[in-house]
């Protein structure tokens, strides 16, 4: 047989044998293909059975499905995949990491009871880089949540004993906010005012700033700037959202460092302080035995300040919208609050016992957060391989705890589309977890409750309001913000 190197081979009609003898190059290719085929065949026969992963899709290379999750509608993102793959568990890729999403009451319970056994806290890279202590060599190291939990649960801070003392001070500060920024203004952008109020409260109780300290307003602006980069793709390039947020985070740390120096000087003079920042300065690390550096304290304090205002400001905006559009709900809340107000002497501030009487108001707030949750979920990391619903979740995978998958489930909430605050008078466990659960229950839950109820007491006491943009879109869904700032028309009331 004569070998030909000039004429092409007709692959559609020629046999494999004819193709293999057409050139030395084709002989080499055929040999490699045969070797690879035989290796894969033998490997398949001898290797253990593959891990059974949950159903789902990793999406695009590298970014996975992060863009749709972060910049689309995250509730719809989760809901669509529950319908397509499984209502209990599915896999995806978020923040560049293979991720499994556990859904429903069973998912809530599984994560709650297995904290620290199967999971540890994990933060998206945007949060890691914004709140990372710059003195740590590992760029992936994030300030342990355990540190923040320890601080906020320390004696005299976010525990009930401290909140009892906070009630009157908080009532006074909120009344002052109304006097400065609400009264005499027929139209306001409520989200901006709520943001300012929540940030001022956070600065007062966490950093120890006095009510008339002009830096409160600066921290309000800085906090808002940081939230823009909390949940986004961390592209550190001029002009990006994350780049701007990182610059703001550096500025906030410098501001807190200045406050630390002032507090040190005051302490040396014998001044008594009682706030989270002071506690951080005086407490050592129980594991290493060393005290934290000023840079460490400034970084952790920044994280506490920002976390202390995000949920109250967003949650109260959504609650005000629902109340403003439902006169019957507004009237019931005002009736409850005016009964409390009528029991007070002129000028007397709210106390802890008053807060406990606001049951219908709090149930209304919970119902609104069920329908329009201000917080969507949190991430964990698998400490080892584990099995869930017959699927194996590998070690190192991220686990997303989505707190919203039960909110519209008729098995958990009959007639879920109906606005019914009374449903929270009795609720089965693991059906509603806006603040997480178990040992990782949000340490600021009771603080947030106090902020919301104190504000609602005052706003229905002094105002009725008309929602001017009922169809206003929310920007972002991980931390949603009203696109136009939630404009309302205020109607002052005599008390």
How much is the average pLDDT of 321-343? 95
Confidence of residue 34 (pLDDT cuts 50, 70, 90): low
**Higher-pLDDT residue of 365, 158:** 365
Q: Which of 31-35, 82-86, 337-341, 488-492 has the lowest mean pLDDT?
A: 31-35
Which ranges of 85-124 would DSSP assign to H, the alpha helix? Answer: 104-113
Torsion of CA 424, 371, 68, 199, to 10 degrees: -80
Across the range 347-354, mean pLDDT stands at 94
SS3 108: helix
Is 50 exceeded by the pLDDT of residue 117? Answer: yes
User: If you average pLDDT over residues 85-105, what whole number do you get?
Assistant: 95
* Residues of the chain above pLDDT 90, percent: 42
Q: Does position 138 have pLDDT exceeding 50, yes or no?
A: no
How high does pLDDT run on average in the chain? 81
Average pLDDT (149-167) is: 57
- Lowest average pLDDT, out of 25-34, 106-115, 361-370, goes to 25-34
Q: Is the pLDDT of residue 338 over 70?
A: yes
> Percentage of the chain with pLDDT > 70?
79
- Answer yes or no: are the C-beta atoms of 101 and 94 closer than 8 Å: no
pLDDT for 148: 42
The pTM is what? 0.80
Between CA 162 and CA 185 the distance in angstroms is: 34
pLDDT, mean of residues 285-309: 72
Residues 152, 441 contacting (CB under 8 angstroms): no
According to the model, what pLDDT value does residue 440 have? 61
Distance from the Cα of residue 56 to its chain's centroid? 24
Per-residue pLDDT, 149:
42
The pLDDT of residue 152 is above 50: no
pLDDT tens per residue across span 215-274? 888 888 888 788 777 777 888 889 888 899 899 989 998 999 999 999 988 888 888 777
Over 90: is that where the pLDDT of 70 sits? no
pLDDT > 50? residue 8:
no
pLDDT at 136: 43
Average pLDDT over residues 454-474: 93
Delineate the domains of the chain, giving CATH numbers in brackets.
66-492 (1.10.630.10)
Rounded to the nearest 10°, the torsion over CA 18, 19, 25, 31 is: -100
22 vs 130: which has the higher pLDDT: 130
Helix (H, G, I), strand (E, B), or coil: what is residue 263?
helix
Q: Quick check: 340 pLDDT over 60?
A: yes
Reading the block at residue 235, the tokens are 């592209």
- pLDDT score at 18: 37
């Amino acid at each position: 047989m004569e070998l030909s190197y000039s004429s092409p081979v007709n692959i559609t009609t020629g046999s494999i044998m004819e193709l293999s003898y057409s050139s030395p190059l084709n002989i080499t290719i055929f040999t490699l293909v045969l070797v690879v085929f035989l290796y894969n065949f033998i490997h398949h026969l001898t290797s253990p059975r593959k891990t059974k992963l949950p159903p789902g899709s990793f999406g695009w290379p590298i970014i996975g499905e992060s863009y749709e999750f972060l910049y689309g509608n995250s509730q719809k993102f989760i809901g669509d995949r529950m319908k397509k793959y499984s209502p209990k568990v599915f896999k995806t890729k978020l923040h560049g990491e293979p991720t499994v999403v556990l859904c429903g009451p069973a998912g809530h319970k599984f994560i709650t009871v297995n904290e620290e056994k199967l999971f540890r806290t994990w933060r998206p890279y945007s949060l890691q880089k914004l709140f990372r202590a710059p003195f740590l060599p590992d760029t992936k190291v994030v300030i342990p949540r355990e540190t923040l939990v320890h601080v906020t649960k320390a004696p005299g801070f976010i525990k009930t004993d401290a909140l009892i003392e906070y009630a009157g001070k908080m009532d006074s500060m909120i009344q002052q906010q109304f006097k400065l920024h609400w009264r005499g203004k027929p139209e306001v952008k409520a989200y901006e005012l709520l943001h300012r109020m929540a940030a001022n409260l956070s600065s007062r109780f966490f950093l120890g700033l006095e009510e008339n300290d002009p830096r409160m307003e600066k921290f309000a602006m800085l906090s808002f700037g940081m939230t823009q980069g909390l949940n986004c793709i961390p592209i550190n390039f001029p002009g990006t959202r994350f780049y701007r947020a990182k610059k703001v985070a550096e500025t906030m740390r410098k501001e807190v460092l200045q406050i630390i120096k002032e507090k040190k000087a005051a302490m040396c003079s014998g001044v008594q302080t009682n706030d989270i920042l002071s506690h951080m300065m005086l407490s050592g690390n129980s594991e290493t035995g060393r005290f934290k550096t000023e840079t460490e304290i400034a970084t952790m304090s920044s994280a506490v300040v920002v976390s202390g205002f995000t949920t109250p400001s967003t949650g109260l905006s959504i609650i005000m919208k629902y109340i403003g559009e439902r006169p019957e709900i507004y009237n019931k809340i005002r009736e409850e609050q005016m009964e409390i107000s009528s029991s007070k002497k002129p000028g007397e501030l709210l106390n802890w016992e008053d807060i406990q009487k606001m049951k219908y108001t709090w149930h209304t707030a919970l119902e609104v957060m069920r329908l329009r949750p201000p917080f969507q979920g949190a991430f964990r990391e698998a400490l080892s391989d584990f099995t869930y619903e017959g699927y194996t979740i590998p070690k190192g995978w991220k686990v997303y705890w989505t707190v919203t998958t039960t909110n519209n489930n008729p098995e958990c909430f009959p007639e879920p589309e109906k606005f019914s605050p009374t449903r929270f008078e009795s609720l089965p466990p693991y059906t509603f977890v806006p603040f997480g659960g178990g040992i990782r229950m949000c340490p600021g839950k009771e603080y947030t409750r106090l902020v919301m109820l104190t504000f609602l007491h005052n706003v229905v006491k002094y105002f009725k309001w008309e929602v001017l943009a009922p169809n206003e879109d929310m920007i972002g869904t991980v931390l949603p913000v009203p696109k136009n700032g939630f404009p309302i028309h205020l109607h002052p009331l005599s008390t």
